[in-house]
C-alpha cells in the first residue's frame, strides 16, 4: 500500500491521470477545501470592496475590520430556521441546491493549478467544463419550480433562459481559444499538422501550448484573442447571474429570483454555489487566455535573474498584506473597547508576515510559484466582478437577451471564423 | 505534447465502477416510469443519462461522454423541464397511472426476458470475437477526422435539417415580430 | 401553474391569488378586474400557443414605489397593456384639518405634505397668505427664502437621483448623493433646528435671523458641490447600460404633457420652456439670472439631464443670492392674530416636482374657510398610464422613479 | 377678453372682475362646457391648473366649482367659477383637458359633486366602500365612517 502512495510522487502526471485514487482524493479535499475558504474570503472582500466603492465602511463590528464577518454569517445561516413552503415539492426542493453546488464544484476537476497540480487531466477538459456548467441551469429551474409560487418561477425561467443563451456565446469564445492551441500559423491544416503538436482540449495541454508559442492567447492574432476574451468575460458574468446581468435577483421587480423561498443553510448553499461558479468560470478564463500558472512574460523576460525576481512576488505580497494589517492596528482607536480588536488584527498581521517569510525559503518558493500565479490572476477577475457590481446598473430582460443573441453570438462566430482563416493563411 | 494514450494508463474500467454505474442507469430507468409527478421522472432521466456518460468514459470515449453531458443532460433535459413546468399538467397527474393494457405489457416483457436469457446463456459465442483494442490517437481527434473527412456530406445535411427546425419553431411562437 | 390541490380548484394565474392577509374571502380576480374594467385595454394578441394575460399587483409595500402607491398592471407576458393607480393610503385629510386651524397653526402641516421638499411647501403657503393680507416680505427675508428653497431643490433632486439610480440597478450613486445631501441638511439644522420638516418661514417673513456662520457654510457648500455633481454625471451620463435603460423609455410628447397638466422637470423634458420662477417670478427670483434647461424628446434620459442641469442652475442662484443679500429687517409688520379680509387667492410656486399651488378662501375669521393645495406629484402621476403603455415591467419602475413622485403630496 | 365673452353670452356671464390682481369670471352652469372649450381653443388657456370646489352650506346654491386655467402663450391665469346646488351634476372637462380626470374624481370624492361624461367617476383617495364626503362643512372633523372601519379593519374606531 505504501509504495502505491509513494509511486505517484515520482511520476510527473496529475493524480487522476496516473490512476492513483488515493492522491486524487487528497487533491479533491485540498481543492474543495481551498475553494470554500476562498468563497468565505470572497464574501468578505465583496462586502468591504463594495462598501469602499460607495464611500462607506462595510462590516467593521465583527472582528477587526469585519474579518470574522463571514464566519458570523455562516453561523447565522446555519442556526436560522430552514423553511420549506407548504405545497413545495419536497424532493425537488431538497435536491436543487445540491445540483447547483455539484455542477459548480465539478468544474474544478479539470482546472489546472500547475503542470501536475490538477485533480485529473481529461483530454476533453474544456468540453467537460462546458457540459458541467450547463448542468447548473437544471438546478436553477428546479429551485424555481419547487418553491411553487409565481415570483420564483418567473425568476427561474428568466435566469435559465439567460444562462442557456449566454452558454452559446461562451462556447463560441472557448472554441476559438482551442483553435489557437493547434494553429501556430505554420501547419497548412492545423488539425493534422504533425509538426509541433495537435490541437488539444485538455486544459493543461492548452496552457503548455501557450507557453510553447511564447504568447498568451489573449495577445495571439492580436485583435481576435482579445475579442474572444472579451466575449468570454461578458458571457461568464451573465452565466453566473452577476453584476449587470443579475436580473433574476432584481429586487425592484421580482423579489429575489429563484432562491426566494429558501432560507437558512439551504440558501447559503446557493450562495456557495454562486461564488464557486464565479471562481470556476474565471479560472477557466485564466487557463484559456492568460496562460494558466505561468508567471507574466515567461518568455520575453527569461533568464534566472528575472526568475528570481518573479519568484519573490508571493512572499512580497503576503508581507505587504501584513504591513497593511499592522497599519490598521496603529490606526485603531486607543479606547479599551477596541483592545480585543487590535490584538486580533495584530495576530492576523503576524500570521500573514510569517507566511510571507516562509514563502521566501527557496524550496517552498519554487513549489508555490505555479499555484500563486494562477490564484493571483483569478483574484484579479474576482475584483473585476465586484467592480462591475458597483458601477453598472441592471440590464432589462429583453436588452439582456438582445446582447446575448444579437451582439455576442455573431461576434463570437466571426472571431471563430477569422481565427481559423488566420491560422491557415499565416 | 503528451501522447494520446500512455501505455501505463491503468484500465479505468474497474469492475466496481462498472456495476455501480449500470446499477444507477437501471434504477433511474425504473424511476422514470414509476414516478407520479412528471418532474421527478425527468430528474430520474437526467440521472440515468449522467450515469450513461460515466459508462462511455470507461469505454475510452471521453468525447462522447462530454457530448452526452452537454447535449442530453444540459440541453434537451432543460427543455423537457421547461415544457413540463409551463404546460399545466394537473389533469394528467390525476389520471389512472397504469391503464388497462397490462396484457400487452406482459407479453412484451416475456419476449424481452427470453431475449436476455438467450444472450446470457450462449455468452460469447453469439458475438464475433473482437476485443476493444486501444485507439491510436485521442478519441476526439478520431471523431473530428471522420466527421469532417468521410461523413462530410451527412454532416451538412443534418445541419440543414436543424436550421429548418429552428425556423419552424420561431414561426410557431411568433407574435407580430 | 402552481401545484394543483387534490380538489378541482381552478387556479387563476395572478400574483395575489392566495393573499394570506385577505380579510374578506372576496374573490381576488373580481377586485382587480373591477379596477381595470373601464380601461379599454386591447385584448392580448393571441399567438399560436395562446399567451396567458396576467394581472400583477405592484402592491403598496413594493421596494420601488416611492411610498405607499399600488399600481395594478395588466400584462401580456412581459408587455404592459394598461395600468391603474390605487392611491389614498397616505391620505391624512390635510385640507379638512386646515378648516379647523388658524393660519399660523396650519403652517407646519404644509411641510408634511411633500416631506422631501418641505421648505418650498412652506414658501408657497406663506406667500399665498401674504398675498391675501396684501403684505410684502422684506427684501432680506426674500433673499433668505430664495437661498433655502434652492438648497431644498438641490436636496430633493439629489434624493431623486439616488433612489432613481437604485431602482434601475446602479447602487453607488445613492451613497454619493446622500453624502452631499447631508451637507444641506446640516445647514437647515443650524438655521431652523429641523432637517426634514423645517417650518423655516412665517407668514410675513422669516422667523430667525441667519446664524453668524450662515454665509460661510453656504459658500463652502457651493465650492464643494459642483465637483460632486460632475462625479454623478461621470458615473451615469455616459454609462452604456444607463443609456440603454433610459433612452426613449416612458416617452411623453409635448402635447400630451400639456394636456395632462404635467409640470416641472417632466414638462421641461418634453420641450416646453416654462418655469414659474421666470414666468411669474416670486420671492426675489426676478433679481437673479439663470437658464431653464429643457429636453427634446421627453424620455427618461432627458428628464435626467434636465434635473442635473437644474441642480447646477440652483447653485448659480444661491451664489448670486448669498453675494447680494441685503441687510434689514426679516419680518414684515403682521398682526399677531392674522385675520385676512374676505376673499380668495391662488398663488403657485415652482416646487422641485412641479407647480405647487395654494387656493385660499377666507371668510374674514382667523381660520381659513377653505385651502385647496394643487400638488404637482398627484397630477404628474396621472401621466404614468400613458408613459408606460407598451413598455415592460422593468420600465414601470424606471418611469415611477423618473416622475419623482412623493406619496405624501399625492395623497395629502 | 371679458368684453368678448359678455358680447357672446350676455346674461350667461354673471360677474367678472379682479381681486388682488387675479381676474375671475362667474359663469352660468348651463353654458360652462362651451365657455371652457372656447377658453382653451380661442383664448389659448391650454393648461388646466386645477379643478376644485368650495362648500357654502348657508347659500341655496351650495357649491362653487372652480377651474383655474393658465395660458402659456399669454402667461396669464384666470379662474372660472360656477355655482350649483347640492345634487346637481356638472359637465365633465375631461374631453377638454385630460388632466381633469383625476382632479374631478377627487372633487367627487371630497364633495360628492357628480361630473357627467367622466369616463370613470369613482373615489380616488378614500376606500371605495366609504360613505359620506369629508370636505363638506356638515361632515364633522372627528366624525369618521365607523361602519367602514369596523367592517374592514375590525376595530372600534380610528381614534
CA-nearest residue to C79 within chain A is: A398
Give me B148's grid cell: 469532417
Label each residue of chain A as H, E or C.
Answer: CHHHHHHHHHCCCCCCCCCCHHHHHHHHHHHHHHHHHHHHHHHHHHHHHHHHHCCCCCCCCCCHHHCCHHHHHHHHHHHCCCCCCCCCCHHHHHHHHHHHHHHHHHHHHCCCCCCCCCCCCCCCHHHHHHHHHHHHHHHHHHHHHHCCCHHHHHHHHHHHHHHHHHHHHHHHHHHHHHHHHHCCCCCCCCCCCCCCCCCCCCHHHHHHHHHHCCCCCCCCCHHHHHHHHHHHHHHHHHHCCCHHHCHHHCCCCCCCHHHCCCCHHHHHHHHHHHHHHHHHHHHHHHHHHCCCCCCCCCCCCCCHHHHHHHHHHHHHHHHHHHHHHHHHHHHCCCCHHHHHHHHHHHHHHHHHHHHHHHHHCHHHHHHHHHHHHHHHHHHHHHHHHHHHHHHCCCCCHHHHHHHHHHHHHHHHHHHHHHHHHHHHHC
Nearest to A197 among B1, B8, B139 (CB): B1
Residue A403 is assigned to a structural domain of this protein? yes
Give me A97's grid cell: 441546491
CA gap D103, A257 in Å, rounded: 39
Nearest to A145 among B8, B39, B140 (CB): B39
pLDDT of residue B4: 39
- Report the neighbours of B using a cutoff of 3 or more CB pairs below 8 angstroms: A, C
Q: Which of chain A's residues have a Cβ under 8 Å away from the Cβ of B140?
A: 123-124, 127, 201
Asked if pLDDT for residue D38 goes beyond 80, the answer is: yes
CA gap A415, A178 in Å, rounded: 12
Query: Do A108 and A289 contact (CB within 8 A), yes or no?
Result: no
Whether B36 and chain C come into contact, CB under 8 Å, resolves to no
CA gap A412, A171 in Å, rounded: 9
Chain D: give the shortest CA distance to residue C105, in Å.
Answer: 16
pLDDT of residue B89: 59
Using DSSP, state whether C33 is helix, strand or coil. Answer: helix
Residues 49-108 of C with CB under 8 A from B: 49, 51
Residues 3-42 of C with CB under 8 A from B: 3-4
Residue A235 is assigned to a structural domain of this protein? yes
Query: Do A254 and A248 contact (CB within 8 A), yes or no?
Result: yes
| Residue C373, H or E segment | strand C370-374
pLDDT of residue B127: 65
Nearest to A390 among C2, C172, C397 (CB): C172
pLDDT of residue A1: 67
Structural domain boundaries enclosing A213: 18-312+360-425
Nearest to C394 by CA among C84, C58, C68: C58
For each of chain A's 426 residues, which pLDDT tens digit applies? Answer: 677 667 766 666 777 666 677 778 888 888 889 888 888 888 888 888 888 888 888 888 777 788 888 888 888 888 888 777 777 778 888 888 888 888 888 888 888 887 777 777 777 788 888 888 888 888 888 888 887 777 777 778 888 888 888 888 888 888 888 887 776 544 333 343 333 445 677 777 788 777 777 777 777 777 788 888 889 988 988 888 887 887 766 655 555 677 777 777 888 888 888 899 999 889 888 888 887 777 777 666 667 777 777 778 888 888 888 888 888 888 888 888 888 888 888 888 888 888 888 888 887 777 788 888 888 888 888 888 888 888 888 888 888 888 888 888 999 999 889 888 887 776
C-B interface (Cβ pairs under 8 Å ≥ 3): yes
E-assigned strands of C225-333?
none
CA gap C143, C155 in Å, rounded: 18
Chain C: give the shortest CA distance to residue D134, in Å.
Answer: 7
Q: Tell me the pLDDT tens digit for each residue of B107-164.
A: 988 999 998 888 888 776 666 665 555 555 566 777 777 778 888 888 899 999 999 9
pLDDT of residue C310: 92
Strand-pairing partners, residue C180, are none
End-to-end CA, chain A: 53
Interface B–C counts its CB contacts (< 8 A) at 18
pLDDT of residue B160: 93
Domain B10-89 has CATH 1.20.120.1200: yes
In the block, cell 399567451 appears at C51
Query: Do B69 and B57 contact (CB within 8 A), yes or no?
Result: no
Q: Tell me the pLDDT tens digit for each residue of C21-44.
A: 333 444 444 445 555 555 555 454
CA-nearest residue to A201 within chain B is: B140
Nearest to C45 among B93, B173, B175 (CB): B175
pLDDT of residue A208: 79
Phi/psi at D19 (5° precision) = -130, 125
Query: Do C63 and C169 contact (CB within 8 A), yes or no?
Result: no
Using DSSP, state whether C361 is helix, strand or coil. Answer: strand
Residues 61-80 of C with CB under 8 A from A: 63-64, 78
Strand-pairing partners, residue D47, are D70
CA gap C181, C225 in Å, rounded: 10
- Class of residue B168 by CB neighbours under 10 A (exposed 0-12, middle 13-18, buried 19+): exposed
The beta-carbon contacts of D148-157 under 8 Å, at least 24 apart in sequence, are D152/C23, D152/C24, D152/D127, D154/C23
Q: Which of chain C's residues have a Cβ under 8 Å away from the Cβ of B173?
A: 47-49
Task: Give me the count of residues in chain C.
Answer: 412
Nearest to D103 by CA among A406, C357, C246: C357
Give me C366's grid cell: 382667523
- Mutation for testing the C interface, residue in B90, B168, B170, B173 having most C CBs under 10 Å: B90
The domain segmentation of chain B, as residue ranges, is 10-89, 139-177
Asked if pLDDT for residue C377 goes beyond 70, the answer is: yes
- Mutation for testing the C interface, residue in A46, A393, A406 having most C CBs under 10 Å: A393
pLDDT of residue C385: 86
pLDDT of residue B129: 62
How many domains does chain A fold into? 1
Give me C181's grid cell: 445631501
Query: Do A8 and A24 contact (CB within 8 A), yes or no?
Result: no
Full set of structural domains in chain C with CATH: 94-390 (1.10.645.10)
Stretch among A354-368, C9-23, C139-153 having the lowest mean pLDDT: C9-23
Q: Tell me the pLDDT tens digit for each residue of B91-110.
A: 555 565 556 677 888 898 89
Q: What is the mean pLDDT of residues D5-29?
A: 72
Whether C389 and chain D come into contact, CB under 8 Å, resolves to no
- Class of residue A315 by CB neighbours under 10 A (exposed 0-12, middle 13-18, buried 19+): buried
Share of chain B above pLDDT 70, in %: 73
Q: What is the ipTM of this complex?
A: 0.79
CA gap A321, A356 in Å, rounded: 9
Stretch among A103-112, A186-195, C345-354, D132-141 having the lowest mean pLDDT: A186-195
- Mutation for testing the C interface, residue in D102, D120, D143 having most C CBs under 10 Å: D102
pLDDT of residue C153: 92
Query: Do C86 and D123 contact (CB within 8 A), yes or no?
Result: no
Nearest to C60 by CA among C96, C17, C16: C16
pLDDT category at C14 given cuts 50, 70, 90 is very low
Nearest to A170 by CA among A234, A240, A248: A234
Chain B: give the shortest CA distance to residue C9, in Å.
Answer: 11
End-to-end CA, chain C: 41
**Could you give the C-alpha distances from B148 to A174, A189, B88, B94, in angstroms and in order?**
20, 13, 43, 50
CA gap C32, C84 in Å, rounded: 10
Asked if pLDDT for residue C51 goes beyond 70, the answer is: no
Query: Do A394 and A156 contact (CB within 8 A), yes or no?
Result: no
Residues 50-109 of B with CB under 8 A from C: 85-86, 88, 90, 93-94
Using DSSP, state whether C290 is helix, strand or coil. Answer: coil
Nearest to A251 among C63, C165, C174 (CB): C63
CA gap B122, B116 in Å, rounded: 10
Name the more confident of A178 and B23.
B23
pLDDT category at B176 given cuts 50, 70, 90 is low
pLDDT category at C316 given cuts 50, 70, 90 is very high
Asked if pLDDT for residue B7 goes beyond 60, the answer is: no
CA gap C12, C8 in Å, rounded: 12
| Residue C182, H or E segment | helix C172-192
Write out the DSSP string of C275-288: -HHHHS--TTGGG-
Chain C: give the shortest CA distance to residue D20, in Å.
Answer: 7
Strand order in the sheet with C370-374: C343-351, C354-362, C370-374
Query: Measured on CA atoms in the order C262, C264, C267, C270, is the torsion positive or negative?
Result: negative
Stretch among A20-34, A320-334, C2-16, C111-125 having the lowest mean pLDDT: C2-16
Strand-pairing partners, residue C76, are C53, C79
- Report the neighbours of C using a cutoff of 3 or more CB pairs below 8 angstroms: A, B, D
pLDDT of residue C150: 92
Do C131 and D66 count as a contact with CB atoms less than 8 A apart? no
Using DSSP, state whether C71 is helix, strand or coil. Answer: strand
Q: How many CB atoms lie within 10 A of CB A340?
A: 11
CA gap D32, A174 in Å, rounded: 74
What are the residues whose beta carbons fall under 8 Å from the beta carbon of A66, sequence distance 6 or more? A44, A47, A48, A58, A59, A60
CA gap A40, A73 in Å, rounded: 10
pLDDT of residue A253: 56
Nearest to A128 among B4, B9, B66 (CB): B66
Q: What is the mean pLDDT of residues D52-58?
A: 87
In the block, cell 407520479 appears at B36
pLDDT of residue A191: 40
- Cα A385-A389-A395 angle, rounded to 5 deg: 115
Write out the DSSP string of chain D: -HHHHHHHHGGGEEEEEEETTEEEEEE-GGGHHHHHHHHHHTS---EEEEEEEEE-TTSSS-EEEEEEEEETTTTEEEEEEEEE-TT-EEE--TTT-TTHHHHHHHHHHHH--EEET-TT---SSS-TT--S-TTSTTS-SS---HHHHHHHH-SS---
CA gap C311, C155 in Å, rounded: 9
Nearest to A115 by CA among A2, A236, A203, A196: A203
CA gap A156, A141 in Å, rounded: 5
CA-nearest residue to C274 within chain D is: D72
Whether C272 and chain D come into contact, CB under 8 Å, resolves to yes
Q: Tell me the pLDDT tens digit for each residue of C171-181.
A: 888 889 998 99
Do D50 and C134 count as a contact with CB atoms less than 8 A apart? no
Interface C–D counts its CB contacts (< 8 A) at 93
Q: Which of chain B's residues have a Cβ under 8 Å away from the Cβ of C51?
A: 175
Asked if pLDDT for residue D74 goes beyond 60, the answer is: yes
Q: How many CB atoms lie within 10 A of CB A292?
A: 27
Residue A10 is assigned to a structural domain of this protein? no
Stretch among A354-363, A400-409, C7-16, C258-267 having the lowest mean pLDDT: C7-16
CA gap A334, A342 in Å, rounded: 9
- Cα D9-D12-D17 angle, rounded to 5 deg: 95
Amino acid at each position: 500500500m505504501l509504495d502505491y502512495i509513494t509511486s505517484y510522487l515520482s511520476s510527473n502526471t496529475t493524480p487522476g491521470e496516473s490512476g492513483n485514487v488515493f492522491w486524487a482524493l487528497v487533491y479533491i479535499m485540498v481543492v474543495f477545501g481551498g475553494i470554500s475558504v476562498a468563497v468565505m474570503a470572497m464574501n468578505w472582500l465583496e462586502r468591504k470592496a463594495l462598501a469602499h466603492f460607495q464611500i462607506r465602511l462595510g462590516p467593521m463590528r465583527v472582528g477587526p475590520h469585519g474579518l470574522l464577518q463571514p464566519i458570523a454569517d455562516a453561523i447565522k445561516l446555519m442556526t436560522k430556521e430552514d423553511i420549506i413552503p407548504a405545497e413545495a415539492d419536497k424532493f425537488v426542493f431538497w435536491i436543487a441546491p445540491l445540483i447547483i453546488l455539484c455542477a459548480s464544484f465539478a468544474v474544478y476537476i479539470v482546472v489546472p493549478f500547475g503542470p501536475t497540480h490538477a485533480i485529473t487531466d481529461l483530454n476533453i477538459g474544456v468540453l467537460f467544463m462546458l457540459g458541467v456548467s450547463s448542468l447548473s441551469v437544471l438546478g436553477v429551474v428546479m429551485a424555481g419550480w419547487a418553491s411553487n409560487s409565481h415570483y420564483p418561477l418567473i425568476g427561474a425561467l428568466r435566469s435559465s433562459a439567460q444562462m442557456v443563451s449566454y452558454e452559446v456565446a461562451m462556447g463560441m469564445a472557448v472554441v476559438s481559444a482551442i483553435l489557437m492551441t493547434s494553429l501556430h500559423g505554420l501547419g497548412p491544416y492545423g488539425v493534422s499538422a504533425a509538426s509541433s503538436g495537435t490541437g488539444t482540449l485538455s486544459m493543461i495541454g492548452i496552457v503548455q501550448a501557450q507557453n510553447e508559442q511564447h504568447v498568451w492567447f489573449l495577445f495571439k492574432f492580436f485583435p481576435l484573442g482579445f475579442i474572444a476574451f472579451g466575449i468570454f468575460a461578458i458571457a461568464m458574468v451573465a452565466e453566473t447571474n452577476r453584476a449587470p446581468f443579475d436580473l433574476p435577483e432584481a429586487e425592484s421587480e421580482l423579489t429575489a429570483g429563484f432562491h426566494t423561498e429558501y432560507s437558512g443553510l439551504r440558501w447559503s448553499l446557493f450562495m456557495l454555489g454562486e461564488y464557486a461558479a464565479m471562481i470556476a468560470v474565471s479560472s477557466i478564463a485564466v487557463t484559456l487566455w492568460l496562460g494558466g500558472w505561468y508567471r507574466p512574460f515567461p518568455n520575453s523576460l527569461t533568464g534566472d535573474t528575472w526568475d528570481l525576481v518573479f519568484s519573490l512576488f508571493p512572499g512580497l505580497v503576503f508581507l505587504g498584506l501584513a504591513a497593511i494589517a499592522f497599519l490598521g492596528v496603529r490606526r485603531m482607536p486607543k479606547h479599551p473597547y477596541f483592545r480585543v480588536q487590535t490584538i486580533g488584527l495584530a495576530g492576523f498581521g503576524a500570521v500573514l508576515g510569517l507566511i510571507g517569510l516562509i514563502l521566501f525559503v527557496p524550496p517552498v518558493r519554487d513549489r508555490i510559484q505555479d499555484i500563486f500565479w494562477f490564484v493571483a490572476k483569478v483574484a484579479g477577475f474576482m475584483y473585476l466582478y465586484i467592480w462591475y457590481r458597483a458601477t453598472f446598473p441592471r440590464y432589462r430582460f429583453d436588452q439582456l437577451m438582445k446582447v446575448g443573441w444579437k451582439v455576442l453570438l455573431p461576434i463570437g462566430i466571426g472571431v471563430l471564423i477569422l481565427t481559423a482563416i488566420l491560422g491557415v493563411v499565416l | 505534447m503528451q501522447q494520446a494514450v500512455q501505455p501505463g494508463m491503468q484500465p479505468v474500467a474497474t469492475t466496481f465502477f462498472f456495476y455501480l454505474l449500470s446499477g444507477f442507469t437501471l434504477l433511474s430507468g425504473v424511476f422514470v416510469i414509476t414516478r407520479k409527478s412528471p418532474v421527478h421522472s425527468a430528474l430520474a432521466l437526467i440521472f440515468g443519462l449522467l450515469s450513461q456518460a460515466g459508462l462511455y468514459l470507461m469505454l475510452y470515449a471521453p468525447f462522447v461522454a462530454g457530448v452526452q453531458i452537454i447535449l442530453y443532460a444540459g440541453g434537451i433535459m432543460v427543455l423537457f423541464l421547461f415544457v413540463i413546468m409551463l404546460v399545466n399538467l394537473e389533469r394528467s397527474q390525476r389520471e389512472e397511472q397504469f391503464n388497462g393494457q397490462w396484457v400487452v405489457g406482459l407479453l412484451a416483457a416475456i419476449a424481452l426476458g427470453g431475449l436476455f436469457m438467450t444472450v446470457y446463456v450462449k455468452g460469447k459465442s453469439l458475438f464475433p470475437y473482437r476485443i476493444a483494442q486501444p485507439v491510436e490517437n485521442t478519441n476526439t481527434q478520431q471523431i473530428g477526422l471522420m466527421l469532417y473527412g468521410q461523413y462530410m456530406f451527412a454532416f451538412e445535411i443534418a445541419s440543414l435539417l436543424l436550421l429548418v427546425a429552428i425556423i419552424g419553431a420561431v414561426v410557431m411562437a411568433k407574435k407580430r415580430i | 401553474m402552481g401545484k394543483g390541490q387534490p380538489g378541482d380548484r381552478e387556479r387563476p394565474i395572478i400574483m395575489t391569488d392566495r393573499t394570506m392577509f385577505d380579510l374578506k374571502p372576496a374573490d381576488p380576480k373580481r377586485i382587480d378586474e373591477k379596477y381595470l374594467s373601464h380601461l379599454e385595454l386591447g385584448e392580448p394578441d393571441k399567438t399560436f400557443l395562446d399567451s396567458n394575460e396576467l394581472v400583477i399587483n405592484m402592491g403598496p409595500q413594493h421596494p420601488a414605489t416611492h411610498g405607499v402607491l399600488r399600481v395594478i398592471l395588466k400584462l401580456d407576458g412581459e408587455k404592459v397593456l394598461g395600468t391603474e393607480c390605487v392611491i389614498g393610503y397616505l391620505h391624512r385629510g390635510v385640507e379638512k384639518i386646515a378648516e379647523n386651524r388658524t393660519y399660523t397653526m396650519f403652517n407646519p402641516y404644509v411641510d408634511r405634505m411633500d416631506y422631501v421638499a418641505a421648505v418650498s411647501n412652506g414658501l408657497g403657503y406663506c406667500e399665498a397668505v401674504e398675498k391675501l393680507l396684501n403684505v410684502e416680505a422684506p427684501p432680506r427675508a426674500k433673499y433668505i427664502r430664495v437661498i433655502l428653497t434652492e438648497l431644498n431643490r438641490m436636496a430633493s433632486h439629489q434624493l431623486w437621483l439616488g433612489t432613481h439610480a437604485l431602482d434601475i440597478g446602479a447602487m453607488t450613486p445613492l451613497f454619493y448623493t446622500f453624502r452631499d445631501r447631508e451637507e444641506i441638511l446640516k445647514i437647515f439644522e443650524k438655521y431652523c433646528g429641523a432637517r426634514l420638516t423645517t417650518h423655516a418661514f412665517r407668514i410675513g417673513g422669516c422667523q430667525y435671523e441667519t446664524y453668524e456662520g450662515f454665509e460661510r457654510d453656504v459658500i463652502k457648500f457651493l465650492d464643494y458641490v459642483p465637483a460632486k455633481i460632475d462625479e454623478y454625471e461621470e458615473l451615469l451620463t455616459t454609462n452604456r447600460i444607463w443609456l440603454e435603460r433610459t433612452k426613449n423609455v416612458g416617452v411623453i410628447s409635448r402635447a400630451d404633457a400639456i394636456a395632462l397638466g404635467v409640470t416641472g422637470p417632466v414638462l421641461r423634458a418634453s420641450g416646453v420652456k416654462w418655469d414659474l420662477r421666470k414666468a411669474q417670478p416670486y420671492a426675489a427670483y426676478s433679481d437673479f439670472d439663470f437658464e431653464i434647461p429643457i429636453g427634446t424628446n421627453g424620455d427618461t434620459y432627458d428628464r435626467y439631464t434636465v434635473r442635473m442641469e437644474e441642480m447646477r442652475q440652483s447653485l448659480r442662484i444661491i451664489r448670486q443670492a448669498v453675494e447680494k443679500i441685503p441687510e434689514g429687517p426679516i419680518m414684515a409688520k403682521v398682526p399677531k392674530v392674522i385675520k385676512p379680509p374676505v376673499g380668495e387667492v391662488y398663488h403657485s410656486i415652482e416646487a422641485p416636482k412641479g407647480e405647487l399651488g395654494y387656493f385660499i378662501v377666507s371668510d374674514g375669521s382667523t381660520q381659513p374657510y377653505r385651502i385647496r393645495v394643487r400638488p404637482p406629484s398627484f397630477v404628474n402621476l396621472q401621466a404614468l398610464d400613458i408613459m408606460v403603455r407598451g413598455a415592460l415591467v422593468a420600465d414601470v419602475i424606471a418611469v415611477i422613479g423618473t416622475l419623482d413622485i412623493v406619496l405624501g403630496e399625492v395623497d395629502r | 377678453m371679458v368684453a368678448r365673452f359678455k358680447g357672446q353670452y350676455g346674461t350667461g356671464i354673471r360677474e367678472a372682475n379682479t381681486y388682488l390682481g387675479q381676474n375671475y369670471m362667474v359663469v352660468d352652469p348651463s353654458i360652462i362646457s362651451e365657455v371652457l372649450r372656447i377658453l382653451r381653443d380661442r383664448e389659448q388657456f391650454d393648461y388646466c391648473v386645477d379643478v376644485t370646489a368650495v362648500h357654502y352650506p348657508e347659500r341655496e346654491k351650495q357649491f362653487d366649482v372652480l377651474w383655474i386655467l393658465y395660458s402659456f402663450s399669454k402667461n396669464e391665469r384666470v379662474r372660472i367659477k360656477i355655482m350649483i346646488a347640492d345634487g346637481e351634476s356638472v359637465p365633465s372637462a375631461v374631453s377638454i383637458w385630460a388632466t381633469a380626470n383625476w382632479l374631478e374624481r377627487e372633487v367627487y370624492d371630497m364633495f360628492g359633486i357628480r361630473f357627467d361624461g367622466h369616463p370613470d367617476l369613482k373615489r380616488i383617495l378614500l376606500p371605495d366602500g366609504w360613505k359620506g364626503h369629508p370636505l363638506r362643512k356638515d361632515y364633522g372633523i372627528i366624525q369618521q365612517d365607523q361602519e367602514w372601519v369596523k367592517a374592514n379593519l375590525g376595530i372600534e374606531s380610528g381614534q
